[in-house]
Amino acid sequence: VLGNVDPAAGFFTVQVGAFRDRGNAERLRDRLNPSYSPIFIQQYDAPDGTFYRVRVGKISGEDTARQFGEQLRLREGFTPFVTRLDPETPAGGMR
């Protein structure tokens, strides 16, 4: 990291699933949509194929995102993964 950038600052999201089949990602997004926002699907082209990552929230600060991930774990049974939102990624992501 160059400069005085705080790696825990900025916006984060919680990944709740990654699927090879886009339909599975869309079903999870649709199931969570009434309770959480924003929810988006991010396509990831890995060396062994394409994955569709389902991510929930645009949360300010890593600690707050981790707390939200813990709530998702307790309420929904997910194994959450907190990740930073890239500045160039649209808030709605891929739909």
Q: Map out the domains of the chain with their CATH numbers.
A: 11-84 (3.30.70.1070)
Residue 84: in which H helix or E strand, if any? strand 81-84
Q: What are phi and psi of 5, to 5 degrees?
A: -90, 130
Q: What percentage of the chain reaches a pLDDT higher than 70? A: 84
Res. 71: pLDDT tops 70: yes
Average pLDDT of the segment spanning 62-67: 96
What are the pLDDT digits (tens) for 16-50? 999 999 999 999 999 999 999 999 999 999 999 99
DSSP label at residue 94 = B
> Whole-number mean pLDDT of the chain?
88
